[in-house]
Structure 1
């Protein structure tokens, strides 16, 4: 976000360039419109990469010019300029975002937002998001209201280390005429390993690869390299420069439409927007008005470019708040919200950014500028911590609801499997469909678990790190129940299989069974390749091969499987036509593989899949819980249930167990039944409610074991 102003006798790349201001405008418009709706610009996220290259170019140019002019780099001066340019506006938006969260978002988001503010203020938000992207606990949570601060974190980390690197290289370079060659070699030493790591990590673990600094630093170094050789490139013949500069701009714009969320990004495809930007910067001056500089330097483009930083800061929190308050907005409504973000952006630019950035006092007293930056950072950090400690105060999980004797389940052990706390599904009769005890009501005496901590009400596989994450293909074999029992039950599949472990554990303890889990995030038990984020999920395929190999070598007495819905991959391409039929065929063939070796297979029919997060809804509507009760037909139709039903129909040795009548007994699905919160997110049962289903699961498994259908 650096601006350079004309100085007497300054090299061409160090003077103010309207075309770069226009490139900023293009970058922020790509991001904003892309966030408004992917149907407008599917790859609008490449605007961030344009920013990275621009920042690398401008920062390196300023530092090298200072080095050439004075023989040194003033670290205090450099950090002071960055502090007064970036931190006041960033700190303001962080504090206001806390206020918006308090006023408009559900309390269940308070804690994460508070820590997001702290992480953003300290410019480590990208590492926090990278960690969360592979953490099973965060997979189904709403996006952070401060998610966009990840790119600012990358840039600030770059600003921290880059002048130190340049100083070190300058010492190695010695005399000025050798310095630029050494700088280019140094940049290559940084950029090439970073690019290689980006390609590798994107292919193996794309989620964190998108956020971490190590996969992105090459983009800023690319801009730095252009700054080093820029003066020479400005002597390029005009005709050639015109072609190259326009080609670069076309490449940037085209990449925003050719790439989408399913692309292997960043990886090697990030070369499209970054190389395109570098080419525009490198050759626009030589191309003159015949190049893209004429278009990019138009007053409207320069105006948007000047506002780009504030626009970027404000648009995302407003989008998230509007999406929550008004439901799922249409693309045109989201575009309107993005347009309205220009109002606080303009105010911030004129009353916060410019007065501080242009202050003569701060210009001549960089220590004061650093002090203001530290004050902005400290204020945001303290605001986040105070918000966490004072505003967010989850209640202890309530156990005040009196236990009700279980009415469901026909096995003799039903009483022993009764929940000790709130009854949950135990309030329902043996045949729960239509039971008014499970109807939606506006108020209940207490809710367990408290919605504020429901996300942590997870099966033991998660608490004990026995649930394989997306980036791993190595099975984790964990044992529950009676570990030395002679009867072995295996639970295999994705998180929709793992959610049944609390109920299965209770059954296993009562029946003296040994339970072995093989579960992996977003990975069904399936002998077909599936997609994750639109790309082949290679680690899932490998994990499945190994798990099925274990089961063939040591067949269990009973195999329980569960899964959500997945798109499959054939010859490296996503299969979208007849997706349910193809998935059903794959499931059927996989289960038959197990029955041919004498294993009985129990398919746990997939649970209802909510479009709106029940936990957030309950948190925001404790006295109007009926607002959180979707139509049964709608939520049952989603997920993997229909494919499972087709796959199991008429198959000997394969038994479908459907407990959804005890999860959604009436035509609208109550978020709380028997004092227990049913879901911990949009599509996973709380461990507490799953545990109350133990008598019903026990009854269903007893029927399977005795030969029933």
Structure 2
């Protein structure tokens, strides 16, 4: 088919060690991306392309079952074993608040779609405020597994084309196909990173170009000729550049776009330099016996370090580990990787038959499924038991804040294990627009025919969170309710003109003006900033709607915190959480709200008093858990505002 260098490349083992250590180091101490995963992708592309071409050269065929079974024997034992360990530890060492999310991600990791699970759940890998599961890093494994399937289809097509059309210049054909994949995927990655970086970070199609580069390097490496001086310079440039990636670039908004070329180019430099042995080149370090030994553990180190770090954060300290603690995590990762490789992965990989290997893998997978079933059923039982007692009398919620109703002594609702699932109906049925689209997505609720008025909840998640209260308020009325919200997008004129968020705001304004909407409900301030310009941008669309004849109920934004309230409630208890809540300056929009109220431009509603008992902000009010994260309220708490919204709607719509 094509001549490639089919020989052991010891410097690649050293490169894998460096990549694993960079990933671990930046995760443990800096909470940043290092570029190490991108190196893994390039190396994976290089190695799998080498393996595929060698197989075709040797046998003249390329069959799916031998190809995939060989990969699964290598990958699944470690993956399934670590997931089993995480499941067992989750019973005892994870907060209730993260259990449900962890179970979902373990299932996604088992079946290699964790990257899509994170993408569609609006996870931001680089946001330190979001609660992380111990298996979140399996997104990279999922992409790798999907890439292997894509590569099978590509090379199956290449082999078919070569045989059918008697193509002799196979290198040119492979370069054309892999180069096309590289260019298309890179362009898409740059585009999507610019408009929706958290989503772009996880999806397969923004990452395939990284594997393609490794494939292109494999196909062309034998034709690259360099002397010893160039090899030495390239090698050291690559290694130094790779180590400095996380220091030189603010990757929080840049990966996986064009900036990923930097660590990938560094990896290419190192691999190319390894074709020539030099006295003072990096190959002497990376290809040393110690690095070769450690290279076989790098895969396990990547998998274990995040698991250990996660349990450290949830059980020892939420702050970054100190030097000694961090080194302990890294050393423990190497030890666990060695033990896993020696006693789990290697025996299965070297099983006498493929059937026996997969029988052993299936045992671990079955254990995982049993543990998942136990966790899920336990959680559902607790949830159902509490739901039986869920009455307005037992759970008055917000109306209890003013001390005018009796609050019985019952466990808070929702349970901490289910608080993240206590979401507005629009999130459950998918009528909230995602960050990928600019179109107006509308959820229709309330009375859908013969309605006398239409109320639209408009804006970001800080408007959407009130939908439960609005829907409860209109029960038994002739009002229709529309949900017109978009994740992470304020109904504001503060975005750049070419920003997808700005396009959504424009589309939403046009839609509301075209429809027969009587009242728009949305937050008119942002409590996490005191910048007057931002607050004014929030008012501009509301003013435009008012001029078009639409009435507006402007809500003051709820208090926001710099810590996860429900996580603190779970781990530190209610009293310490109360103390933390009242130490923070949780509403910076005071001046903007006072100005808005005095202007009497809109109907206004400040609900701050319902987040306190007396003068004290509380995480549980009227037996209802108030927050589900840092700054969003639970749907159950929102529903308890129904009497307040009902009065507002009657006052506005029945005038």
TM over 0.5: yes
CA distance in 2, matches of 1:96, 1:213: 27
Aligned to 1:528: 494
User: 1:396, 1:450 within 8 Å by CA — same for their partners in 2?
Assistant: no
CA distance in 1, matches of 2:598, 2:430: 37
Matched, 1:606 2:557: yes
Counterparts of residues 592-603 of structure 1 (less than 5 Å): 592-597=543-548, 599-603=550-554
Aligned to 1:207: 198
User: 2:440, 2:511 within 8 Å by CA — same for their partners in 1?
Assistant: no
Q: CA deviation at 1:542?
A: 1.0
Aligned to 1:415: none
Aligned to 2:218: 227
Q: CA deviation at 1:501?
A: 2.3
Aligned to 1:259: 249
CA distance in 1, matches of 2:42, 2:614: 56
Distance 1:247 1:437, change over 3 A: farther
Q: CA deviation at 1:96?
A: 1.0
Aligned to 1:87: 76
Matched, 1:518 2:484: yes
Distance 1:361 1:688, change over 3 A: closer
Q: How many residues align?
A: 648
User: 1:56, 1:221 within 8 Å by CA — same for their partners in 2?
Assistant: yes
Aligned to 1:673: 621
CA distance in 2, matches of 1:537, 1:22: 44
Aligned to 2:535: 584
Counterparts of residues 545-556 of structure 1 (less than 5 Å): 545-552=506-513
Aligned to 2:466: 500
User: 1:244, 1:283 within 8 Å by CA — same for their partners in 2?
Assistant: yes
1:112 to 98, 101, 109: 101
Counterparts of residues 31-430 of structure 1 (less than 5 Å): 31-38=23-30, 42-44=32-34, 46-72=35-61, 79=68, 81-133=70-122, 142-160=131-149, 162-163=151-152, 165-166=154-155, 168-173=157-162, 178-233=169-224, 235-286=225-276, 288-297=278-287, 301-302=291-292, 304-329=294-319, 331-333=320-322, 336-354=324-342, 362=350, 365-389=353-377, 393-396=381-384, 398=386, 419=392, 422-429=395-402
Deviation per residue, 1:509-561 (Å, 9 max, x gap):
5775454432221111211117xxxxx99222111112223445568554332
User: 2:396, 2:623 within 8 Å by CA — same for their partners in 1?
Assistant: yes
Q: CA deviation at 1:306?
A: 3.7
CA distance in 1, matches of 2:411, 2:376: 24
1:458 to 419, 423, 438: 423
Tell me the TM-score normalised to structure 1 length: 0.80
Aligned to 1:30: 22
Q: CA deviation at 1:86?
A: 3.0
Q: CA deviation at 1:211?
A: 1.8
More moved, 92-101 vs 626-635: 626-635
User: 1:584, 1:647 within 8 Å by CA — same for their partners in 2?
Assistant: no
Deviation per residue, 1:229-255 (Å, 9 max, x gap):
22222x323333444444444443443
Q: CA deviation at 1:104?
A: 1.0
CA distance in 1, matches of 2:279, 2:336: 32
User: 2:525, 2:592 within 8 Å by CA — same for their partners in 1?
Assistant: no
CA distance in 1, matches of 2:294, 2:349: 28
Deviation per residue, 1:166-206 (Å, 9 max, x gap):
35534543589744333333423543433343334334443
User: 2:461, 2:487 within 8 Å by CA — same for their partners in 1?
Assistant: yes
User: 2:561, 2:581 within 8 Å by CA — same for their partners in 1?
Assistant: no
Aligned to 1:695: 643
Tell me the TM-score normalised to structure 2 length: 0.85
User: 1:36, 1:338 within 8 Å by CA — same for their partners in 2?
Assistant: yes
Secondary structure at the counterpart of residue 288 of structure 1: coil
CA distance in 1, matches of 2:72, 2:161: 29
In structure 2, stretches of 5+ residues that fail to align are none
More moved, 462-471 vs 363-372: 363-372
User: 2:525, 2:555 within 8 Å by CA — same for their partners in 1?
Assistant: no
More moved, 377-386 vs 15-24: 377-386
In structure 1, stretches of 5+ residues that fail to align are 1-10, 404-418, 531-535, 568-577
2:12 to 5, 14, 20: 20
Q: CA deviation at 1:224?
A: 1.8
Q: CA deviation at 1:105?
A: 1.0
Q: CA deviation at 1:600?
A: 4.8
Q: CA deviation at 1:355?
A: 5.3
Aligned to 1:533: none
User: 1:127, 1:211 within 8 Å by CA — same for their partners in 2?
Assistant: yes
Secondary structure at the counterpart of residue 520 of structure 2: strand
CA distance in 1, matches of 2:349, 2:413: 57
Secondary structure at the counterpart of residue 554 of structure 2: strand
Distance 1:517 1:301, change over 3 A: same
CA distance in 1, matches of 2:394, 2:349: 65
CA distance in 1, matches of 2:491, 2:628: 23
User: 2:238, 2:265 within 8 Å by CA — same for their partners in 1?
Assistant: yes
CA distance in 1, matches of 2:616, 2:313: 24
User: 1:610, 1:630 within 8 Å by CA — same for their partners in 2?
Assistant: no
CA distance in 2, matches of 1:557, 1:13: 71
CA distance in 1, matches of 2:533, 2:502: 16
